[in-house]
Amino acid sequence: MKKKLGFYSIVLLTINSIIGTGIFLSPGAVVAKSGDKALLIYSFAAIFAAVLAITFAAAAKYVSKGGAAYAYTKAAFGDNLGFYVGITRYIAASIAWGVMGTGVVKTVLSIFKLDSSNLLLVTVGFICLMGILLAINLAGTRFLEIINNLSTLGKVGALITTIVVGLGIVLFTQVNEFGNIHTLTDATGVPLGYNMDISSWVMAVIAAFYAFTGFESVASGAEDMEEPEKNLPRAIPLAIAIVAAIYVGIVGVAMMINPQAIISTTEVVALADVFSNPIIRSVIILGALVSMFGINVAASFHTPRILEAMALQGQIPVFFAKRTDKDFPVVAFFITIGIAILLPMAFRFDMTSIMVLSSISRFIQFIVVPLAVMVFYFGRERGQALQDVKKNFVVDVIIPGIAVILTVVLLYNFSWTQQFTIVLEDGSVLPNTFAIVAMVIGYIVLPFILMIWQHMRKQTQEQMIEK
């Protein structure tokens, strides 16, 4: 028997996949958008994440195969839509992994006072990071599980320590700066969060929600988990609840101790600038580094397995599902690592542009997967879902329906113009060519070419069988 991830390791993997750089590097972005409403914004984002997490967990009980959104879509709606969701999600996840790797390298360079804009330094650091992740995965699932668990406990420990110390400071010094948030203003002199309209609320919730994403990819590695149809539906919501409590706690503490610092700091690890104590600052910086490394470990586990899942289900050559004697998907990993390295390099590590692909792919999943769960409930899938499933109308229909409605509302109110334009210092607006090209290639050109190739391959196989 090959070693597989148990329930608690799945919980830790989910937490590790969610908590990355954002809560350490830029928690002030949400505060700057919403002012004293920041905790409410994070609570709304947590509710949205919880709704989606329950939906993905419900899908996992119907489909135990790896691939996450790809497997669910294929089971519910057939090969073509499944292939499109799978390939777009795979490309976006690979690029997102490259973005996270870039973030680790640039942050480490900045912490050690090196030039984080130096393309050579970033490239060398990036390749070194990928080499370390390759070595961890080659060592087998057991070793990866240990590294994943330790990195998760490390980042969670750093955040909980920060919350406890922060609350201790407030309680023992009787100093609470939370009310000072009302005196802070934006660049135009308007108080933070003043007179927010629905669009402002939506953008703030989305900004906070991105700190919760990552749970949707965990089931990609279901083939390497013990009883995924039972453990994933319990593990994902539990992980979301833990992360939500940590996020609300850390943002609340930061706003009570030094709201000005969390918004205006120029430090790389923004959260560290809230505290003046050097020991606490060191704990936070170390936690940030562990967190960034940990989320890359998680990405190195589930991203290649999207490609492997497509191979196992016969939509791409089975060669891509080849594993080592330690049960490591070696071919899928090397292809994924190539995309994760080369595409960010092609964009000269411009993180803003290439993150558009990842963002859009998530919204596609957040509509398709809830619809798939409802299809499973009413028994109209393509015969690929598990049949002995305990169905629940609230979990399998009501909550997925709410997920679809919330996603559509967010998409409608989302500021797409900001994603595909660049505002120069003189105020002029230019199209973000890199972002537009990445979206067209990733969501139209490449899937179309691959679908034609797949169709031709299938025809060739049928002709060979006939002969």
Q: Give 263-308 pLDDT, tens digit per residue.
A: 877 777 778 888 888 888 888 888 888 888 888 888 888 888 888 8
Task: Give tens-digit pLDDT for 31-70.
Answer: 888 888 888 888 888 888 888 888 988 888 888 777 788 8
Q: Retrieve residue 278's tokens.
A: 């050097």
User: Is pLDDT larger for residue 226 or for residue 432?
Assistant: 226
Domain annotation covers residue 30: yes
| 452: number of Cβ within 10 Å | 10
Q: How confident is the model at residue 441 (pLDDT cuts 50, 70, 90)?
A: confident
Which pLDDT value is given to residue 404?
93
Q: For residue 160, is it within any domain?
A: yes
* Segment (H or E) for 93: helix 79-111
The mean pLDDT value for 384-399 works out to 80
> For residue 235, is it within any domain?
yes
The CATH code of the domain that includes 101 is 1.20.1740.10
Residue 400 lies in a domain: yes
Q: How many distinct structural domains can be found in the chain?
A: 1
* Nearby residues of 81 by Cβ (< 8 Å), 6 or more positions away: 73, 74, 368
> Domain of 364?
7-413
Residue 264 has which token pair?
Answer: 């205006």
Could you tell me which residue, 61 or 457, shows the higher pLDDT? 61
Per-residue pLDDT tens digits for 92-105: 788 778 777 877 88
Average pLDDT over residues 338-367: 67
Assigned domain for 440 exists: no
Contacts of 407 (CB under 8 A, 6+ apart): 52, 363, 366, 367, 370
- Determine if the pTM surpasses 0.85: no
Give phi and psi for 291, each to the nearest 5: -65, -45
Residue 286 lies inside a defined structural domain of this protein: yes
In one letter, which amino acid is 416? W
Q: Residue 354: its pLDDT value, please?
A: 54
**Low-confidence winner among 108-117, 231-240, 411-420 (lowest mean pLDDT):** 411-420
Indicate whether 278 belongs to any domain: yes
**458 belongs to a structural domain:** no
Cα separation, 66 vs 223, whole angstroms: 5
Q: For the chain, give the percent of residues with pLDDT over 90.
A: 6
